[in-house]
Structure 1
Amino acid sequence: MDAHHHLWVRARHPQTWMDPTSMAAIDDDFTEADYADLARSAGVTASVVVQSVHAPSETPELLAVAGTSDVVRGVVGWVDLESPDVAERLAALRAAPGGDRLVGIRHLVQSEPDPDFLARPSVRRGVAAVGDAGLVYDLLVSDGQLGAAADLVGALPGTTFVLDHLAKPDLVHGDLTRWAEDLHRLAAHPNVAAKVSGLVTEADWSRWTVADLRPAVDRAFDAFGPDRVMFGSDWPVLNLAGDYGRWLDAAAALLPAAWGTDERAAFWGGNARRTYRLGGLSDRP
């Protein structure tokens, strides 16, 4: 199971974060049909699609797509967390076509200029409403925001959180000391899991190796253990630094040699299925 990928059609939802020069490899439209063909060829049988822009119209479209897809089983969407009616907005999304596929909410915190964004009372009320609705909150933060993320997770023990991309450790320069300390502080809270995803684009896009990724991934496995980590591709952003098959092979090579069949099955699908409450999906062996 792929716990993290994106879909977009730029005419409907421009990806304003994208630099068409340095990111030419993904300056295109990526649809469910594109993903489904790729996923099947890679042996992926279920996925979670994740929002990519702060646009109220994006989540209903993703839900409608998921509602008719035999691969996309869950949607991590977006709502304005500071709105006073977050609960009502979540209920409206669940009532929309495909609304039963809504499994979580995410905000692009990494792009927020306010370093105290996650500490705002209005934001915390919004995240709490996400948890009260039985949904997961996906944490998209940079490595420098991990401390604030740990404070949020600790303040809302009744909400389930998933850390995206291991908070984007600096794999180019290699100093992971502060990141690792904050990651362990975050992982000390039992209500948070982590996606091993989005790492190749934090390394050297053209020259990364499994060895470049291993220091960060080993620390994440140590911090969260085999029951709170899950595989994600971050496709199509992944295409900036490789392809789906290469990342699958890299992820497999990064798994601890001591892990048995159960731990590996949990990483490849079981943990994501449980965390996002995707009942009825089998673990991938």
Structure 2
Amino acid sequence: MIVDAHHHVWTADYPWLSAPDLAPIRRDYTLADLTPQLEAAGVTATVLVEAGRCDAAETAEFLALAATAPRIAGVVGWASLTDPDLPATLAAYRDLPGGATLVGVRDQLQGVDDPEYLARPDVRAAMATIGGAGLAYDLVVHVRQLAACAEAVRATPGTVFVLDHLGKPRIGAGAEGFAEWRAAVAPLAACGNVVAKLSGLLVEAGPGWDVSLVRPYVDTALELLGAERLMIGSDWPVCELVASYSEALGTLDACLRELSADERAAVTAGTAIRTYRLDLAPASDLP
């Protein structure tokens, strides 16, 4: 079993796609575009993640899509950590068509410039509310935000946090970028309520990406978190800035070949199933 724990769909009019360097992916991407690639890669199920529109309507659309698409086992919707009615927002999502597939939420924290944001009492209370609702909170942040994330995570032990894209390390910066990332991610990885996604790494490496550039990050993530706290994600269609869907998953496969069968099963499916409480049989239980 393979679970792609991080992909998107969107339409070309999403505001953030107007940036000039995003022209290659400025078009509609639908589940119909993705399905043949899932089949070719042997992917059993996926987690559909909010795509930066930052409104409740997008989450409603994604939940409705999941209700009609068996391959979408879970949806990570959008919610603001400063929403004064967050409990009601989450409850309303669950009352929508497909609401049972809501497995987590996130906001675009990577765009927050305030270094004290994650220390705000209302933000930390919101993180606790999300965990209390049985949902995971996805952290989409840059490497410079990892220290603040670690402090917030330690203060919110009842919530499971998912670090998207390993915290967006500056892979293109070579040894300097690796040293910066390892020092920043280690305290966060030491928190038992954190898991992480092996996703988005080819984009961070840039157009000249190679497996050898990505492998040290995967190896270090395995060292710091272990297979039971890692999951794979394609980050499609963002990955198409530099690589195809098959290349994104193929690179991860190349980095995981030395793992035991049980470790591979955890990273490729088990961790996602457990973390997001997906209604799928654990990989270890399959014939």
TM-score, normalised by the number of residues in structure 2: 0.94
Residues 20-39 of structure 1 correspond to what in structure 2 (within 5 A)? Answer: 20-39=19-38
Structure-1 separation of matches of 2:84 and 2:114: 20
The aligned amino acid for 1:92 is A
Aligned residues: 280
Aligned to 2:96: 96
Structure-1 separation of matches of 2:14 and 2:102: 22
1 or 2, which has the higher helix percentage?
Answer: 2
Structure-2 separation of matches of 1:151 and 1:40: 40
Whether the 8 Å CA contact 2:37–2:246 is kept in 1: the answer is no
Structure-2 separation of matches of 1:92 and 1:120: 25
SS in 1 for 2:60: helix
> Is 1:115 aligned to 2:115, yes or no?
yes
Aligned to 1:41: 40
Structure-2 separation of matches of 1:78 and 1:123: 15
Q: Quote the RMSD (CA, aligned, Å).
A: 1.4
Task: Give the superposition deviation at 1:125.
Answer: 1.4
Aligned to 1:202: 204
Whether the 8 Å CA contact 1:77–1:102 is kept in 2: the answer is yes
Aligned to 2:246: 245
5+ residue gaps in structure 2? none
Deviates more, 1:24-33 or 1:158-167: 24-33
Aligned to 1:5: 7
The aligned amino acid for 1:8 is W
5+ residue gaps in structure 1? none
Deviates more, 1:194-203 or 1:242-251: 242-251
Whether the 8 Å CA contact 1:109–1:117 is kept in 2: the answer is no
SS in 1 for 2:48: strand
Task: Give the superposition deviation at 1:3.
Answer: 0.1
Whether the 8 Å CA contact 1:233–1:244 is kept in 2: the answer is yes
Residues 1-285 of structure 1 correspond to what in structure 2 (within 5 A)? Answer: 1-10=3-12, 14-53=13-52, 54-174=54-174, 175=176, 176-205=178-207, 207-255=208-256, 257=258, 259-283=259-283
The aligned amino acid for 1:216 is Y
List per-residue Cα deviations over 1:33-69 (Å, max 9, x = no partner): 2122221121111000100121121100000000110
SS in 2 for 1:169: coil
Structure-2 separation of matches of 1:37 and 1:281: 23
Percent of aligned positions that are identical: 46
Whether the 8 Å CA contact 1:20–1:27 is kept in 2: the answer is no
The aligned amino acid for 1:82 is T
Whether the 8 Å CA contact 1:119–1:148 is kept in 2: the answer is yes
Whether the 8 Å CA contact 2:80–2:106 is kept in 1: the answer is no
List per-residue Cα deviations over 1:169-199 (Å, max 9, x = no partner): 0111121223212211001111110000001
SS in 2 for 1:104: strand
TM-score, normalised by the number of residues in structure 1: 0.95
Task: Give the superposition deviation at 1:17.
Answer: 2.1
